[in-house]
Structure 1
Amino acid sequence: MNSKKISLTGIKPTGMPHLGNYLGAIKPALEMANSGQYEAYYFIADYHSLTSVHKAQELNDYIYEVAACWLALGLDPSNVTLYKQSDIPEIMELNWILSCFSAKGLMNRAHAYKALSAENESKGRDTDHGINMGLYTYPILMSSDILFLKSDFVPVGADQLQHIEIARDLANAFNHVYGEVFTLPQAKVQEGELVPGLDGRKMSKSYDNHIPLFLTEKKLRKMINKITTDSSEPSEPKDPENSLIFDFYKLFATEQQIKDLSDWYKRGIGWGEAKLELFNVINEELKGPREKYNELMADRKLIDEILEQGAAKVRPRASEFLKEVKKAIGVI
C-alpha cells in the first residue's frame, strides 16, 4: 500500500509560461515532485481558462504549450501523473455538489472577484460588469480539483492561499453534515524566487514586462536588451547590487560567475556587455529544454499520449470517490 502523501498542482493554460513562472513556481514544484517524497499529480486546468479564453484554437494551443513546457523542463510522467481537467468529468459533477455547500458570501470574498468588482466600481461601471459565473464560482471548481483526489498537500504561492482555505471550508461544511468524507488539504507555500520584470516590477503578463520561457535565441537576446538601465558610461564603475541586470544574472549564474561579473561591474562595464553576459547564462540553462519543447510542439502525439495515460490513471479513482460522495448525500 502506498503510504506517500498526495501532492496536487494545477496549471492554468493561458499562454507560454515566462521566466518568473519558471523560477518562482515551476522549478521548485518540479524539485518537489521529483524528490520521490510524494505521490504527485499535475493537471492542466483547461476549464479554468474558459473564464477568459473564448477562442477554441487559442485554448487548444495553450494546453499544448503548457504541457510541453513542463515536460521539457523535467516533469517525468513515470513519476508524476499529468492529466487534463476536462478529461475527468467527475470533477464537474463534484463541482455542483460542493456549490450546494458554499455560501454566496464566501464567493463574494474571493480575491479575484473582489478585485474585478472593485475595479468596476472605480471606473463607475456596474459592480458585476464583465464578470461571468465561471469566474465568480472559480474557487468552487478549484476546490473540486483538489478534493476529488483526497489531496494532502497543494503547493501554492502566498497569493493563492485563499483557494486552499476555501477548499477546506467546503470540505468541512460537507463533513459536518455527512461525516468524514473529504480529506482536508494543506497548503504548501512555495519558496521560489521573486523575479523582476523588464521594468523592475514583479514579472507579470498583466504588466507586459515578462520574458516568455522558450523564445528563440534571437528573440531572447532582443528581450534582454529591453531591460531598463541608466545612462552611465561603460568605463564608469557600477554597483552590482543596484542593477536590474545583475539581479537577473544572480538567478541563473554560478557563485563564481556572480563574483566575476560583480568584479567587472566595479571595474566598469558597458550595459551592452552586461546584457550579453545575462543572455549567455539564461540561454545556457534553457537551450536543452527549448529544443525539447520545440520537438514536443512539432509532434504533439506524445503529449496526447501522456495526457491520456494520466487521465486513465485518475478516472477510476475519481469515479470511486464520487460514488462515495453520492452515497453519502443519498442519491445512490
Structure 2
Amino acid sequence: MKRRTITGVKPTGTPHIGNYIGAIKPAIDLSKNNSRECFYFIADLHALNSIYKRAELKQLTYEVAATWLALGLDTEESLFYRQSDIPELVQLQWVLSAATSKGLMNRAHAYKAKVAENQADGKEEDDGVNMGLFNYPIMMAADILMFQSDDVPVGKDNIQHIEMARDIAQSFNRNYGYTFKLPEAVIAEDTAVIPGTDGRKMSKSYGNTIPIFTEEKELEKRIKRIRTDSTAPDEPKDTKGSTLFELYRAFATKVETKQMSEAFASGIGYGTVKQELFMVMNRELSGPRKEFHTLLKDKVIIDRLLTKGKEKVQPVANLMMEEVYRKIGLT
C-alpha cells in the first residue's frame, strides 16, 4: 500500500524562496515517488487568522495555486485541493477539539510567541489572540488525520505541529478505539531553516523574503541586499551558516555546489558569489516564472483543477467522517 503524504501552504503572502526550498520543492519531489500518494492543499481556512480582506485572500489563494502548478505539480498523479472546499475538515476539527486539552494548546509555539511578545510590550497576555490562532494546531491535526497521513514534510520549527497531531490522535483513539494513524514528521535536515536576506529565517513577518517569481531585475536587487560578514574578498570563507551558500546549493547542480564550496575555501569575493547565485536562481526560475504569470491571467484553469481536486478528495473525507461519527455515536 502506498504511503500517504500531505503538505499545505497558507495563502498569507506571495510565496517566497523559503517556501519553495523548505516545503514546495521537497513535496513535489515526493510526488514523483510511485510508492507515495500525495495530498497538497491550499490552507485558506488557516489564513483567516491574519487575512481579513476578501479580495486579498482570493488573490493570494490563486497565487499559491499558480505557484504549485508552475513549479511542476502533476495534478493527475496527486490530489490538489482548497482546504475550504472540504467542509468535513471543520467537522473533524470540532470533534478533535473535544479530545484536546487546553494545556496542550497553551504550549503551542505560535501562541506562546504571541504571549511573550505581548508581555514584552506591556500588554495583556492574550491581546490580539483570536481563537483561530489558539486552535490552529487542532485544525492542522484535522488536515493531517482526516486522510490517514503517514508522512508530513516539515521544517524543524514545525515539528511540534506533528507531535500535537499525534497527541490528539492518541487521545481520540484511547476514548473511542483505534481510528487515526499516527503521522510522522519528514524533515529535510539540510533545508530545515532557510535564511532570508538579513540572515534570519526567511519570513514575511521579517520583511526579508525573496518572492519566487519576482522579475529578474528585482531578483538581482534582492540578492545584492543579502547580508554578509566582514571577511575580506580574498580570505577563505566558511560555507556553514552562509546565507549565500545555502541559497546557492538549493538551486545549483551538485557539481556547481562542489565548485562553489571550493571557491569559498579559496577566498572568493561575496560580490562574485552574489552574481553566481543570481545566475543559477534565474536559470531555474525563469521558466516557472513565465508559467506562473500565464496561469494568473487565465484563472479558469486554476479553478478547474481545484474543482477536480475537490471531487477526488471529498469522498475520502466523507468516508472518514462517517467512521468518526460512528465511533463517537453520532451516526
TM-score, length-scaled by structure 1: 0.91
Question: Is the counterpart of residue 176 in structure 1 residue 198 in structure 2?
Answer: no
Q: Please provide the CA RMSD for this pair.
A: 2.3
Please, which moves more after superposition, 49-58 or 218-227? 218-227
On the 8 A contact 1:171/1:184 being kept in 2, the answer is: yes
Name structure 2 gaps, 5 residues minimum.
none
The equivalent residue for 1:48 is 46
- The alignment of Structure 1 onto Structure 2 pairs a total of residues equal to 327
On the 8 A contact 2:151/2:183 being kept in 1, the answer is: yes
The equivalent residue for 2:133 is 135
**Alpha-carbon separation, structure 2, partners of 1:269 and 1:156:** 34
**Alpha-carbon separation, structure 2, partners of 1:247 and 1:166:** 30
Amino acid at match of 2:317: A
The equivalent residue for 2:102 is 104
Name structure 1 gaps, 5 residues minimum.
none
Question: Is the counterpart of residue 76 in structure 1 residue 74 in structure 2?
Answer: yes
**Alpha-carbon separation, structure 2, partners of 1:6 and 1:305:** 24
- What SS does the corresponding residue of 1:76 show, helix, strand or coil? coil
Alignment of 1:155-170 (within 5 A): 155-170=153-168
Question: Is the counterpart of residue 144 in structure 1 residue 146 in structure 2?
Answer: no
Tell me how far 1:279 sits from its aligned partner.
Answer: 1.4
**Alpha-carbon separation, structure 2, partners of 1:149 and 1:92:** 14
Give deviations 1:66-123, integer Å, cap 9, x for gaps.
1111111111101110001100001111111111111111111111111111211121
Alignment of 1:312-323 (within 5 A): 312-323=311-322
**Alpha-carbon separation, structure 1, partners of 2:260 and 2:117:** 47
Please, which moves more after superposition, 122-131 or 262-271? 262-271
Amino acid at match of 2:158: Q
Amino acid at match of 2:238: E
On the 8 A contact 2:228/2:270 being kept in 1, the answer is: no
- What SS does the corresponding residue of 2:189 show, helix, strand or coil? coil
Q: Give the direction of change, closer, same or farther, for the CA distance of 1:297–1:124 in structure 2 (3 Å limit).
A: same
- What SS does the corresponding residue of 1:293 show, helix, strand or coil? helix
The equivalent residue for 2:284 is 285
**Alpha-carbon separation, structure 2, partners of 1:103 and 1:230:** 46
**Alpha-carbon separation, structure 1, partners of 2:260 and 2:132:** 51
2:8 to 1, 7, 10: 10
The equivalent residue for 2:209 is 210
Amino acid at match of 2:63: E
The equivalent residue for 2:248 is 249
Tell me how far 1:318 sits from its aligned partner.
Answer: 0.9
Percent of matched pairs sharing the same residue: 49
Q: Give the direction of change, closer, same or farther, for the CA distance of 1:5–1:228 in structure 2 (3 Å limit).
A: closer
**Alpha-carbon separation, structure 2, partners of 1:61 and 1:262:** 43
The equivalent residue for 1:65 is 63
On the 8 A contact 2:236/2:268 being kept in 1, the answer is: no
Amino acid at match of 1:318: A
**Alpha-carbon separation, structure 1, partners of 2:169 and 2:160:** 14
Tell me how far 1:53 sits from its aligned partner.
Answer: 0.7
**Alpha-carbon separation, structure 1, partners of 2:217 and 2:265:** 25
Amino acid at match of 2:284: E
TM-score, length-scaled by structure 2: 0.91
Give deviations 1:116-151, integer Å, cap 9, x for gaps.
112111211111000001111111111111111111
On the 8 A contact 1:240/1:246 being kept in 2, the answer is: no
Amino acid at match of 2:50: S
The equivalent residue for 1:39 is 37
Q: Give the direction of change, closer, same or farther, for the CA distance of 1:230–1:314 in structure 2 (3 Å limit).
A: closer
Amino acid at match of 2:126: D
Q: Give the direction of change, closer, same or farther, for the CA distance of 1:222–1:153 in structure 2 (3 Å limit).
A: same
Q: Give the direction of change, closer, same or farther, for the CA distance of 1:134–1:302 in structure 2 (3 Å limit).
A: same
Q: Give the direction of change, closer, same or farther, for the CA distance of 1:239–1:201 in structure 2 (3 Å limit).
A: farther
The equivalent residue for 2:83 is 85
Q: Give the direction of change, closer, same or farther, for the CA distance of 1:105–1:280 in structure 2 (3 Å limit).
A: same
Q: Give the direction of change, closer, same or farther, for the CA distance of 1:323–1:265 in structure 2 (3 Å limit).
A: closer
**Alpha-carbon separation, structure 1, partners of 2:11 and 2:102:** 27
Q: Give the direction of change, closer, same or farther, for the CA distance of 1:225–1:101 in structure 2 (3 Å limit).
A: same
2:236 to 213, 235, 239: 239
- What SS does the corresponding residue of 1:241 show, helix, strand or coil? coil
Amino acid at match of 2:282: N
**Alpha-carbon separation, structure 2, partners of 1:161 and 1:256:** 32
On the 8 A contact 1:16/1:69 being kept in 2, the answer is: no
Q: Give the direction of change, closer, same or farther, for the CA distance of 1:276–1:140 in structure 2 (3 Å limit).
A: same
Tell me how far 1:189 sits from its aligned partner.
Answer: 2.0
